Structure 1
Amino acid sequence: MTLLEKFNADGFCVLDGFLSSTEVDELRAECNQLIKNMPAESDRTIFSTVGSETKQNKEKYFMDSADKISYFFEEGALDEKGALKVAPEVSLNKIGHALHVLNPVFKKYTFNERVKEACFQLGFKEPAIAQSMYIFKNKQIGGEVTPHQDASYLFTDPLKVVGLWIALDDATVENGCLQFIRGSHKGGVHRRYIRNPDKSSPELMIYDKPAPIYPKNHFEHIPVSKGSCILIDGKVVHASEPNKSTKSRPIYTFHVIETKDTKYSELNWLQPPSDNPFMKLYRN
């Protein structure tokens, strides 16, 4: 069975040994440098504003992150003044969404020939990288990722969105590896997270439908080793449990969209600046 056949059948595909241990260690070391350069307290207060502005401030920071390296903290990591309540190395949930553009190390691995070959085999004609994230899933505190489809957040017409999820350490059942409903990508997009068309509302983003309920026994754990990459169809339902183990589960992930004869939805939360469009994969 070819990569494309397996991907089309299941909605995901595991590529073992996608990055070497040395390459993974380089990404992790670069992330440690990013942690050392995280925003000062005065710039972190938007995450912890007390009162009605909290949600809108967080939404605006999120929506404005397409061309920046932005820091997203774990719930409860900051006090009301933006000061850290925990050690810096365990304070972050993720860093994104333009690592692949602004950081030379992450850019090198996002635009390498292995990524290009995988996307070519999946049938991309003019792929572009929409966003990138380093997700920490820290030991004992890494939060649950509820069941979702990536296409709820990144939508194109016609729809062609694929995530590349690279394990930067062993991802196990104990530390929160991905879970999939195999074949669920064949059921379409169940709901979308969109910019609120009601400009008078304080909510900048909304879901257009209630959250679907997915039976827990439909999910299958997919543990992978350090350096493995999981290709994820934008429509496949996946999730991960909280990390209550003593071992962190860091990953680097980014999303590829088709741009040839394809419209990127103007309702998506992520919108590139008009003078800085998404970077094309095959041209870099």
Structure 2
Amino acid sequence: MTNPLSSHQLTEAQKQQWEQDGYLVIPSFFDGEETKEMLDEAKRLCDEFEVDGHPMTTFKTAADGEHVGDEYFLTSGDKIRYFLEPTSLSPATSTQPAKLIVPPAQSINKIGHALAMLNPVFRKHTLESDRIRDVAKSLGAQESPRVLQSMIICKQPRIGGVVPCHNDSTFLYTDPPSAIGAWIALEECTPENGCLSFLPGSHRLSRTANRFIRAPDGGTTFMDVPGVEPNEENWDDMEGWRKAPCSPGTLVLIHGSVMHKSPPNPSDKTRIIYTFHMIEGGKGVKYDEKNWLQPTKEMPFPALF
């Protein structure tokens, strides 16, 4: 049943802020009860992580370097799978495999990538959410958004790693670029435990000149986008970076071209968030078979509306 009080149309001021900055912070988008429901579910999933049989696949984001690319990762688009913090494992040797050096629930970097489709709690607050649909419609950036890459991201206390400067269209490439992220704080996100930082306005300057793909011989790699000259800017060194601390229940919309990052978490507090992405699914926009994340016949990327 649709609750008439659950709508959330963006104001003109919010839309102007989005156009200007390339991201939009919306405090109290989810109320305390809704946020707790998602946080409790995220913690339940973490607590249920089974180490036995897991390939010990770790996850780290590197826009120009090594990246995860095993089959466990590449076939996770229609499943709920666990990816570990690299520093949660002992180094593998020629005689000993890598082993967890922290409790299993505290080893998790992220859980994905089909939570919005397969988990009832996250489906409720994504595909079944009138407010999410209203925001996407009033944003006016996509005519027919498709939801993909829904996941919990945990910055674990003392071991949660850095996410370097990047834009999302590199990893969820469409022609032309169309990705939008929806990032939801389930706990307090502060400079001390790894809140997001943005370079406002960089979405108007950055060009998606390379993309993260499935390598022809297996695994993943990056390839140049034909006809797109790479930016010469060193984004990290540019002035104007802005931290975006936020309270539980905050929704942050992220333009696919805006440069953003987050630091490690040396604190003793977790920073658990839920996020999903949207791409344009209408005519004239192509999501091709080179992308690392692929829909399946059984689970195509669902339409938001």
- Matched residue type, 1:71: Y
Match of 1:32 in 2: 43
Aligned pair count? 272
Aligned counterparts of 1:117 and 1:57: Cα–Cα separation in 2: 35
- Matched residue type, 2:279: I
The offset of 1:41, in angstroms, is 1.6
Match of 2:227 in 1: none
Are 1:73 and 2:96 matched, yes or no?
no
Aligned counterparts of 2:50 and 2:36: Cα–Cα separation in 1: 24
Match of 2:219 among 197, 201, 204: 204
Q: Structure 1 residues 114 and 182 mapped into 2: Cα distance closer, same or farther (>3 Å)?
A: same
Aligned counterparts of 2:21 and 2:281: Cα–Cα separation in 1: 24
The offset of 1:57, in angstroms, is 8.2
Match of 1:280 in 2: 303
Match of 1:120 in 2: 137
The SS at the match of 1:208 is strand
Are 1:85 and 2:106 matched, yes or no?
no
Query: Which structure shows the higher helix fraction?
Result: 1
Q: How does 1:104-183 map to 2 (within 5 A)?
A: 104-111=120-127, 112-123=129-140, 124-183=142-201
Aligned counterparts of 1:150 and 1:172: Cα–Cα separation in 2: 22
The SS at the match of 2:298 is coil
Backbone CA RMSD of aligned residues: 2.3
Match of 1:264 in 2: 287
Residues 51 and 104, structure 2, Cα contact 8 Å, conserved in 1: no
- Matched residue type, 1:3: Q
Question: Could you report, residue by residue, the CA deviation over 1:32-63 in whole angstroms, capped at 9, with x for unpaired residues?
Answer: 22123323422335669xxxxxx998532211
- Matched residue type, 2:137: F
**% same residue:** 39
- Matched residue type, 1:207: F
Aligned counterparts of 2:75 and 2:139: Cα–Cα separation in 1: 30
Aligned counterparts of 1:33 and 1:204: Cα–Cα separation in 2: 31
- Matched residue type, 2:23: F
Match of 2:234 among 192, 213, 218: 213
Normalising by structure 2, we get a TM-score of: 0.82
Residues 87 and 159, structure 2, Cα contact 8 Å, conserved in 1: no
Match of 1:3 in 2: 14
Aligned counterparts of 1:218 and 1:47: Cα–Cα separation in 2: 32
Normalising by structure 1, we get a TM-score of: 0.88
Match of 1:189 in 2: 208
Match of 2:270 among 232, 248, 251: 248
Match of 2:260 in 1: 238
Residues 166 and 253, structure 1, Cα contact 8 Å, conserved in 2: yes
Are 1:99 and 2:115 matched, yes or no?
yes
Match of 1:52 in 2: none
Aligned counterparts of 1:274 and 1:226: Cα–Cα separation in 2: 36
Residues 140 and 245, structure 1, Cα contact 8 Å, conserved in 2: yes
Residues 56 and 83, structure 2, Cα contact 8 Å, conserved in 1: no
Residues 147 and 279, structure 2, Cα contact 8 Å, conserved in 1: yes
Q: Once superposed, which parts of structure 1, at least 4 consecutive aligned residues long, lie more than 6 Å away?
A: none
Aligned counterparts of 1:159 and 1:241: Cα–Cα separation in 2: 26
The offset of 1:109, in angstroms, is 0.6
Q: Return 5+ residue gaps in structure 2 as ranges.
A: 1-11, 60-65, 225-229
Aligned counterparts of 2:288 and 2:22: Cα–Cα separation in 1: 22
- 156-165 or 81-90: bigger deviation: 81-90
